[in-house]
Structure 1
Amino acid sequence: MKETLEAVAAGELSVSAAEARLSGYATTTSGRFDAARETRRGIPEAILAEGKRPEEVVDLCETAVETAGRALVTRADGDSSEAVETAFKHTEATVSVDDRAGTIIVTGEAFDQPELTAKVCIVTGGTADYPVAGEARALVKAAGADCTIIQDIGVANIDRLFDQLETIREADVVIAVAGREGALPTVVAGQVDCPVIGVPVSTGYGHGGEGEAALAGLLQSCTALSVVNIDAGFTAGAQAALIARQVDAVKNRDQQSGN
């Protein structure tokens, strides 16, 4: 604590950074940012833009970069993206926006990006499922795992899946994203020997639409897989990232022992 206070007094550490170091979070006018989440959980805190004003998103992004080295924003609309890009335009930080996925990543100049020796493959039933898949990818890439997205391999023409099986089977964990009846994750889980995380999405319509039928189908899957909530790309990405961290730890341990 003494070193932290001395750093603040010397102008070497901001008040927000000091608070984050001492309590694990930083208080802003827009909320409290969990700056210690990545150290504690292995995955970074995300700023949910939905329901927040653009200036509140910017405020939290600035605090995240200041205290954790980077900011990860989910469910961002055009106004929030524009506000964040403008706020960091004349700084050393790098801003990456995925409009379709609604994600923003702001990386500070001194941030040390993690790198994991693990592969995650995200597959989608249709191209319309990309927004959820892209949100999952943002989490996986933030954790430092290699991430591949394969789109539009729904089971209506199962040859599209079989054509990609070689690539999918190279992954240490698979995220399968599908709407309608949610059949894709079940089929994928029957073809690979790694964990599969099924994500039902609300791209369907009619009876059981808005992801309801997909969720029910995945919960009743006859193959072994994990299931997250409807459109929960963030949760799927976080789970995959945690698995990837464990895979990386095992591979590094084996390498050090000479196995």
Structure 2
Amino acid sequence: MKLKVKDILERFAGGEISLEGAVREMNLLSYREVGDMAKLDPCRIDRIGIPEAVLAEGKTPSDLVEIALSFLAASKEVLITRVSPEQLEALREAPLPEGSDLVWEGRARAVVISEDSIKKFSGGKVGVLTAGTADVPVAEEARVTAELMGCDTISEYDVGVAGIHRLFPSLEKMMDRDALVVAAGREGTLPAVVAGLVEAPVVGLPVSTGYGAGGRGEAALLSMLQSCSVMVVVNIDAGFVAGAFAAKIANRAAQWRNIQ
């Protein structure tokens, strides 16, 4: 890695690549090893505008703490998703750097640890809707992710098509949003309805709720993929991906507004 860094710096010094090009190539090389169990990518947000999240599932509490502390040292902020009660207890007992703040987002089952208590806002605006209350945990993961990426978020829950009159007052509050995340289980209709009514890009988020045939989010996913409304669809229960994609759209929109 050191040889590659030297090569990049020599090419920059020789005028072969621009400063921006050198930074881009350096970011591609940067990662942080945690023993033999993880290779963290703290520069991902600088490279592509989306932070790496730590998925807690499958990790022992002690391993998760070690990974979180290493990530925090490299980036000053870490998002940990799908956190179990045992893992949460271990994180709360961990020797965090002085001044660090641990926030438990209960409905999202997510932890955000930050060394900087001052939130940085990008100007991006994201809205989050759910068809039912069973979809809220996954939608909350999307909301937490979008906020971590600097977006202003608003959420409206339980506005599904079984009582579609509930949707319209909620949509009125979303008219200034740059992007919307719409979560739904069962037959997954709501994202297609919303995408047919609003100008903002819609990210369909299928949720693993439902009964019998087509349960576990499969019917919702296929319904969204077959939508005649124009939208993008993420995988089942992929709240982080949905929130990050919507935030990336919103942040680009905010950059464009700042140019005007």
TM over 0.5: yes
Contact 1:78 1:99 in 2 (8 A): no
Secondary structure of residue in 1 paired with 2:182: strand
Contact 1:178 1:201 in 2 (8 A): yes
- The match for 1:7 is none
CA distance in 1, matches of 2:84, 2:106: 8
Residues 103-122 of structure 1: pairs in structure 2 closer than 5 A? 103-109=110-116, 113-122=119-128
- The match for 1:209 is 215
Residues 55-134 of structure 1: pairs in structure 2 closer than 5 A? 55-88=62-95, 91-109=98-116, 113-134=119-140
CA distance in 2, matches of 1:81, 1:125: 29
> Could you tell me how far 1:114 is from its partner in structure 2?
3.1
Query: Taking structure 2 as the reference length, what is the TM-score of the superposition?
Result: 0.86
> Could you tell me how far 1:238 is from its partner in structure 2?
1.1
> Could you tell me how far 1:187 is from its partner in structure 2?
0.7
Secondary structure of residue in 2 paired with 1:165: helix
Aligned mate of 2:143, from 137, 152, 155: 137
Unaligned runs of 5+ in 1: 2-19, 255-259
Residues 169-208 of structure 1: pairs in structure 2 closer than 5 A? 169-208=175-214
> Could you tell me how far 1:171 is from its partner in structure 2?
1.0
- Percent of matched pairs sharing the same residue: 43
Pairs aligned (count): 236
Structure 1: 4+ residue segments shifted above 4 A: 20-23
- The match for 1:25 is 31
- The match for 1:157 is 163
1:59-94: CA deviation from partner (whole Å, max 9, x where unpaired): 111111111011110111111111111114673100
> Could you tell me how far 1:49 is from its partner in structure 2?
0.4
1:224-249: CA deviation from partner (whole Å, max 9, x where unpaired): 11111111111101111110121111
The residue type paired with residue 30 of structure 2 is G
CA distance in 2, matches of 1:89, 1:249: 34
- The match for 1:39 is 46
Contact 2:107 2:137 in 1 (8 A): yes
Contact 2:28 2:47 in 1 (8 A): no
> Could you tell me how far 1:99 is from its partner in structure 2?
2.5
Secondary structure of residue in 1 paired with 2:173: helix
RMSD: 1.9
The residue type paired with residue 181 of structure 1 is E
Secondary structure of residue in 2 paired with 1:43: coil
Secondary structure of residue in 2 paired with 1:203: coil
> Could you tell me how far 1:98 is from its partner in structure 2?
1.5
1:138-159: CA deviation from partner (whole Å, max 9, x where unpaired): 2100110101111100110001
Secondary structure of residue in 1 paired with 2:71: helix
- Are residues 85 and 206 of structure 1, via their aligned partners in 2, closer, same or farther at CA, if it must alter by over 3 Å? same
Query: Taking structure 1 as the reference length, what is the TM-score of the superposition?
Result: 0.86
Unaligned runs of 5+ in 2: 3-25
CA distance in 2, matches of 1:24, 1:130: 35
